C-alpha cells in the first residue's frame, strides 16, 4: 500500500519536473493550445467529435458556462482560503450582493428604476461587494480565524433570508425579473443580439476571458510583496506581525479581493439569467465552492480550477455516461452529500489537495512530523 502510494507520488513529482524543465516556448505553446481548445469547446461541430468527453444528457454549452462560472468563484475563493489562509464560508453571500446590485441598477422592475446598462452596473457591483467585504472583515479579521468563518457563514444566510423576506427592495420570493443581458448592441451573424437567451456560448466565452484575466492578475499578485505577505500570514501570523508585516491590512485586502471576484461572478450570473430571487443563493453553494478549492489544492490557482471542474462538470458528465449505458445515475442530486464527505476525507488524508501548492504541502508535512511522537504515545 505505502509503496504504491510512494510510486504514484514520485510519478507526479517527475511529471512536474519534466514540465518545469521544458523550454519556455514549448510551455507557452502548450498553454496557448489549451486556451484555444477551451474556446472551441462549446461549438457543436467541435465537441461532437469528442465522444466520451462531452455531456450526453444536457446541453454542452450550458454546462460549460456553469462550470466556467464556478471556476471563477473557485479562483476568487482560493485567494482568501488558499493564499491568506482565511476561512470564508459565505462566499455566495458576496455573489448574491453582486447579483442584486446589478439587478437593482439595471432592471426596469426594480424599486430604483435607474435603468443602467449591464456594463456600467458591473463595476458598481464589484465596488459594492468589496465594500461589503471590508464592512464584514473589519471587525472580524482582527480576531481568531474561527470567528471569521462563522460570521461569513451567517452573512451569506442573512443576505438570503433578507432577500427572501424583504418586499420593499428585493421583491421577496418573486425576485427581480427583466435584468438586461450584457451589451445588447453587439449583434451576432444572424442580426440578433449576441448575448441572447438560448445560446450559452457567448456567456461561456465571456466568462472564460474574465477567468484568464483574473488568473493572470492573481498570479502576479501572489508573486509580489502582497503575495509574500499572505504566505507569511498563513504560515504564522504572529511571526509575520513581528517581522513587520501589517497582517490586518493584508488580510483585509485578501478578503476584499476575494469578495470582489465573487461579486463579479454574481454580476455575470444576473446578466445571464436575467432573473434572480433568493433561491439562487443557497448556502450549500458556498460549501461546494469551498469543497472545490480544498479538493483541487488550496493555494494553487490551477488546483482550484481543476477542483471546480471536478465539482461541477464531473456530475453532469457521469449522468450523461450513465444515460448512454442505460442507467439513471443522478450524481448531481447527491452533490452536496458527496462533496461534504470529500471535505472530511481530504482534510484527513490529503490536506494539500489533488494539485497541491508545493509550499503548502510542505507546511502540512511539517506539522505532521511534529505530531509524530504524540501519535506513538496516543
Q: Which residues bind other proteins (CB under 8 A)?
A: 81, 85, 87, 89, 136, 138-140, 143-147, 149-151, 153-155, 157-158, 161-162, 165-166, 283-284, 287, 290-291, 294, 333-334, 336-337, 339-344, 347-348, 351, 363-364, 367-368, 370-371, 374-375, 378
Q: Which is nearer to other proteins, 75 or 86 (CB)?
A: 86
Distance CA(345)–CA(353), nearest Å, equals: 11
Smallest distance, Å, CB 364 to other proteins? 8
Which CB atom, from 146 or from 178, has the smaller least distance to other proteins?
146
CB of 5 to other proteins, least distance (A): 16
What is the phi/psi pair of residue 294, to 5°?
-65, -40
Q: Which three cell numbers stand for residue 90?
A: 459565505
CB of 66 to other proteins, least distance (A): 20
Torsion angle of C-alpha atoms 29, 32, 33, 35, degrees rounded to 10: 160
CB of 183 to other proteins, least distance (A): 36
Total count of residues recorded for the chain:
378
Residue closer to other proteins (CB basis): 1 or 344: 344
For residues 352 and 59, give the distance between their C-alpha atoms in angstroms, rounded to a whole number.
34
DSSP assigned state of 189? T
> What sections of 223-282 are H helices per DSSP?
225-235, 237-242, 247-273
The residue among 109 and 237 lying less far from other proteins, judged by its C-beta, is 237
Nearer of residues 264 and 290 to other proteins, judged by Cβ: 290
CB 340 within 8 A of CB 291: yes
In the complex, least distance from residue 155 CB atom to other proteins, rounded to whole angstroms: 8
| Shortest reach from residue 70's CB to other proteins, in Å | 17
Q: Which is nearer to other proteins, 84 or 215 (CB)?
A: 84
d(CA 360, CA 203): 34
Does residue 300 contact residue 357 with C-beta atoms inside 8 Å?
yes
Shortest distance, position 139 Cβ to other proteins, whole Å = 4
Quick check: helix, strand or coil at residue 290?
helix
Whether residue 99 contacts residue 270, with contact meaning beta carbons closer than 8 Å, is answered with yes
The nearer residue to other proteins, 106 or 140, going by C-beta atoms, is 140
Greatest pairwise CA separation for the chain in angstroms: 74
- Which of 304, 286, 284, 288 minimizes the C-alpha distance to 296? 304
Amino acid at each position: 500500500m505505502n509503496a504504491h502510494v510512494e510510486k504514484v507520488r514520485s510519478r507526479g513529482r517527475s511529471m512536474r519536473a519534466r514540465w518545469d524543465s521544458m523550454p519556455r516556448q514549448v510551455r507557452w505553446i502548450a498553454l496557448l493550445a489549451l486556451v484555444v481548445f477551451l474556446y472551441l469547446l462549446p461549438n457543436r461541430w467541435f465537441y461532437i467529435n469528442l465522444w466520451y468527453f462531452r455531456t450526453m444528457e444536457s446541453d454542452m454549452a450550458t454546462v460549460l458556462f456553469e462550470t466556467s462560472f464556478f471556476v471563477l468563484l473557485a479562483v476568487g475563493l482560493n485567494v482568501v482560503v488558499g493564499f491568506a489562509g482565511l476561512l470564508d464560508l459565505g462566499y455566495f453571500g458576496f455573489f448574491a450582493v453582486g447579483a442584486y446590485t446589478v439587478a437593482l441598477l439595471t432592471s426596469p422592475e426594480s424599486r430604483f428604476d435607474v435603468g443602467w446598462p449591464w456594463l456600467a452596473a458591473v463595476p458598481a457591483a464589484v465596488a459594492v461587494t468589496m465594500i461589503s467585504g471590508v464592512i464584514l472583515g473589519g471587525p472580524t479579521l482582527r480576531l481568531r480565524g474561527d470567528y471569521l468563518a462563522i460570521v461569513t457563514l451567517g452573512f451569506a444566510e442573512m443576505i438570503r433570508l433578507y432577500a427572501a423576506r424583504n418586499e420593499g427592495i428585493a421583491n421577496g420570493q418573486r425576485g427581480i425579473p427583466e435584468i438586461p443581458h450584457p451589451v445588447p448592441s453587439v449583434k451576432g451573424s444572424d442580426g440578433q443580439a449576441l448575448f441572447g437567451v438560448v445560446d450559452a456560448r457567448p456567456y461561456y466565452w465571456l466568462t472564460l476571458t474574465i477567468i484568464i484575466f483574473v488568473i493572470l492578475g492573481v498570479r502576479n499578485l501572489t508573486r509580489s510583496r502582497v503575495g509574500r505577505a499572505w504566505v507569511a500570514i498563513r504560515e504564522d501570523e504572529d511571526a509575520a506581525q513581528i517581522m513587520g508585516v501589517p497582517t490586518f491590512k493584508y488580510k483585509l485586502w485578501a478578503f476584499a479581493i476575494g469578495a470582489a471576484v465573487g461579486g463579479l461572478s454574481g454580476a455575470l450570473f444576473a446578466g445571464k439569467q436575467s432573473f434572480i430571487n433568493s433561491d439562487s443563493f443557497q448556502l450549500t453553494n458556498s460549501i461546494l465552492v469551498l469543497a472545490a478549492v480544498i479538493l483541487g489544492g488550496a493555494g494553487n490557482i490551477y488546483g482550484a480550477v481543476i477542483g471546480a471542474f471536478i465539482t461541477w462538470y464531473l456530475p453532469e458528465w457521469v449522468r450523461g455516461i450513465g444515460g448512454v449505458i442505460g442507467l439513471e445515475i443522478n450524481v448531481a442530486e447527491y452533490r452536496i452529500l458527496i462533496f461534504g464527505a470529500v471535505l472530511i476525507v481530504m482534510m484527513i488524508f490529503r490536506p494539500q489537495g489533488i494539485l497541491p501548492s508545493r509550499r503548502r504541502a510542505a507546511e502540512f508535512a511539517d506539522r505532521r512530523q511534529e505530531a509524530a511522537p504524540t501519535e506513538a504515545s496516543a
